[in-house]
A and B are shown apart, each in its own frame.
Chain A
Amino acid sequence: MTRMTTRRSLLAASTLAFGLTALPALAQDWPTAPVHLFVGFPAGSSPDTIARLVAEPLAEALGQPVVVENKPGAGGVIGVQQMLAQKGDGHSIGITINGPLTTAPRLIPELGYDPQADIAPVGLIATSPLVLAVSADFAAQDAAAFVADASARPGEISYGSVGQGSGAHLTAELFAGEAGVELYHIPYKSYAEVTTAILGGEIDAGFMAPSGALPHVEAGTMKMLGITSATPFAQVPDVPVLAGQAGLPDDFRAELWNAMIAPAGTDAAVIERLNGELQTILADPEIQQKLLAIGWQVQPGAPADLADRIAADTEMWGAVIDKTEAQQ
């Protein structure tokens, strides 16, 4: 009995001692194994491209391979779930779009995680605004005329989105709410379908990525009436910002973003290291150019900035979801 107690307390003491000395060492030596970067979208998608652009220089900086793990599904939520399901030893991190961290708790029952409690923000990577696109035949030439048209015939102008609660849907509802008009929502499954529907005249409008609309604008079959970023966007510099015009407030802004995250409880030193490497990578003009070519503006920041962004967007989109739910 005594021997057992002794042995047990010895064991406890040694674990404690080992733990005390091991903890700081862990952060210093990290990473000790390949880092798995979870992405909730398939290969070839824009979050995946961003992840691969970041993964290569990150692997070089960390001295360990960075393996991109595509776990697509449920609007990126499965990627976050899979990251959280790994053992939390700091070697499983993720890159995700805004949805799984902001609107998912409202839209997906049995989400299985709480973005506030279970996610440690590492840093914002890049943002992408959406443009208000209409067919070239549509009468309105600018956002003010579009809003005037919409208020003259409430609920008649239709727009497509990539699904109930998607960024495209909520952005359109935010826009309609701020402009004081009523638009008619028709959900599709992909931007490809929305684009086809606008070109074919099945719907009038849609909020979509500038890079998606641009080829059709150049071909003369589509036009862009405004953009949801706070300042003009480098990829389409001629498209006017929506903020401050057509009855919209000056601080109107709706952007999609991609960010790097880790499971909550990841060593603070690891988060700091990752954030530092991320900022270095994003400072590279070549990476910035490559991201811009696929429609993303680099937007580096501290982990706390990302936490603020998550909180602000959760509130903003939450209010829009409240409004659309009340309408149903």
Chain B
Amino acid sequence: MTTLEGLAHGLSVALQPSILIYSLFGALLGTFVGVLPGIGAMAAITLLLPITYYISSEAALVMLAGVYYGAQYGGSVASILLRLPGTPQSAVTTLDGYPLAQQGRAGVALFTAMISSFAGSLLGIAILVLMAGWLASIATQFGAADYAAMMVMGLVAASTIGSRQPAKSLAMVVVGLILGTVGTDVNSGAPRFTFGQTQLLDGINLVALAMGLFGVAEVIANIRKADRHGPPNRVGLRELIPARDDLRRICAPILRGTTLGGFFGALPGTGSTISSFLSYALERRVSRRPQKFGHGAVEGIAGPESANNSAAITAFVPTLTLGIPGDPIMALMLGALVIHGIQPGPMMLEARPDMFWGLVVSFGIGNLFLLILNLPLIGIWVSMLRIPFRWLYPAIIVFICLGVYSVRGASFDIVMVAAVGAIGYALALAAFSPALLLLGFVLGPLIETNLRRALLVSRGDPMIFLERPIACGFVIATLALILLPLARRIRQGRG
């Protein structure tokens, strides 16, 4: 089946009324849970799973997939308006989205987020259709050494975002790395820093950490303003349309973000949170006005938002082409297929073309629907700011608790989110960047596991990082990232 035939066949599957309805319902629910801080795609898919037993496998998959990519849209809304990321991957959107909202340009920020999300998804679909086979082969060729070298590069590249003071930035990254060591040591099986708590054996819950650092901390910071509410501005359609200047600025970041996200999404185990962080770091580095970042640069929204949406689409590459889920949510979706007696694997494209192409086309329809749905909703989201804080913030705390609990049903995590919230508030007072802590926490365990695994594979020989072409490339890039600014500074010093 050629690509065109496939798409035509997919259209005939995805446009069946029942499939269409489930797809749109999934996308709508995804946006909704994405907007609510703490409650993410994982919780919604878990809730929907029992329903999927009773509907066709195609309908089940397009619905769950809709929740997955729909959540990527919603996540940025609260990030921009309230500095409360709806999902961990939209945490980085707070950095420039919130300052824009403070400047009365919330509409532009939301529009940028929506249009970038849409463009990222669409280009992600193109990557999925045209390069799925190639990406899948890359995914199996990536060894532990390659992952380790790539993540180190990511850490170096991103470790200066969101803060002006290098010492404070570095301190936050290190704290994040240390928090990432909590849990069972993969190589020896020994518990590390768990203090006898079985709940910590699998590490600190990412959602609890992100929601504590950003959500709860932000609520605490606003307690003193309890009687007030946000700027009572009404957003007409005119305020939504960015200036020509803004539009010009977001095109290149969208393309770069999509490429970055498309690549990381397809690699099992990396995913959309890392994509959005790295895209932000990349935009800041290539920008001609890096000083604007953190003060309302639209590029800082466009890049990460297109990256995480693109990653959410290409995350289906290893799942559909190899039967290998890249993250827990994908594993959940695979579980839904298995219940229907479908064992996803390398033969699925040939054995069930209706499934693959139907899903691909449903991505396109779902994303178009999300764009049409979300643009008029921007006005409503912004008017949410007119709710007095004394009503809004307690509601947010309730949603955060629900969301954190929904991840694995542990009341331990609610205590955790409260404690992290208090620490996050202290950090904010001292002008430390919580985004960098989160970055260290996300990348740290990946670097450690893959570094140690690479050394196990090579029987202790560190040359593995130079002998493997992919790893070697990343090592050279990392050195360049560190040495080039140094060299520039030395030259400037001489001049």
Q: Which residues of A contact B (CB under 8 A)?
A: 42-46, 48-49, 52, 69-74, 77-78, 81, 107-112, 158, 163-165, 186-190, 192-193, 195-197, 199-200, 202-203, 211, 214-216, 218-219, 221, 293-294, 328
Contacts and interface: CB of A to CB of B under 8 A. Distances in A.
9 contacts: A42-B46, A71-B410, A78-B199, A187-B186, A188-B453, A192-B331, A202-B144, A203-B457, A328-B188
Contacts of A158: 457
Contacts of B46: 42-44, 70
Interface stretch (B14-22, B25-33, B238-246, B332-340): B332-340
A49 B202 contact: no
B212 interface: no
7 smallest CB-CB distances across A and B, nearest first, come from A215-B345, A44-B335, A164-B189, A219-B346, A44-B332, A200-B140, A74-B201
Contacts of B198: 73-74, 77-78, 81, 108, 110-112
A107 B142 CA distance: 31
B49 A44 contact: yes
Contacts of A195: 322-324
A186 B408 contact: no
Given A70-B408, A193-B269, A49 B339 contact: yes
A188 to B, nearest CB: 8
A74 B202 contact: yes
B154 interface: no
B409 interface: yes
Nearest to B43: A43
B143 A164 contact: no
Nearest to B140: A200
Contacts of B12: none
A214 B347 CA distance: 11
Contacts of B247: none
B332 A186 contact: no
Given A73-B202, A74-B201, A199-B140, A193 B268 contact: yes
Contacts of A293: 338, 341
Interface string B172-190: 0000000000001111110
Interface string B108-126: 0000000000000000000
B50 interface: yes
A196 B338 contact: no
Given A110-B198, A188-B453, 7 more contacts: A43-B332, A71-B408, A71-B410, A108-B201, A111-B198, A196-B268, A216-B345
A241 B358 CA distance: 40
A74 to B, nearest CB: 4
A205 B429 CA distance: 52
Contacts of A108: 191, 198, 201
A203 B457 CA distance: 8
A221 B332 contact: no
Contacts of B335: 43-46, 48-49
B199 A165 contact: no
Contact of A69 (B268, B328, B336, B409): B409
B141 interface: yes
A16 B291 CA distance: 79
A192 B268 contact: yes
Interface in B323-374: 323-326, 328, 331-336, 338-339, 341, 343-348
Contacts of B479: none
Contact of B457 (A45, A192, A202, A219): A202
A199 B347 CA distance: 15
B271 to A, nearest CB: 13
Contacts of B453: 186-188
Interface string B259-286: 0000000001100000000000000000
Given A163-B189, A199-B322, A49 B328 contact: no
A181 B106 CA distance: 66
A42 B144 CA distance: 26
B139 interface: yes
B334 A44 contact: yes
B196 interface: yes
Contacts of B140: 196, 199-200
Given A73-B408, A189-B186, A218-B345, A43 B49 contact: yes
Contact of B338 (A49, A74, A164, A218): A49
Contact of B322 (A42, A69, A165, A196): A196
A112 B46 CA distance: 28
Contact of B186 (A44, A163, A203): A163
Contacts of B456: 186
Contact of B345 (A193, A200, A219): A219
A261 B333 CA distance: 28
Contacts of A190: 331
A200 B322 CA distance: 12
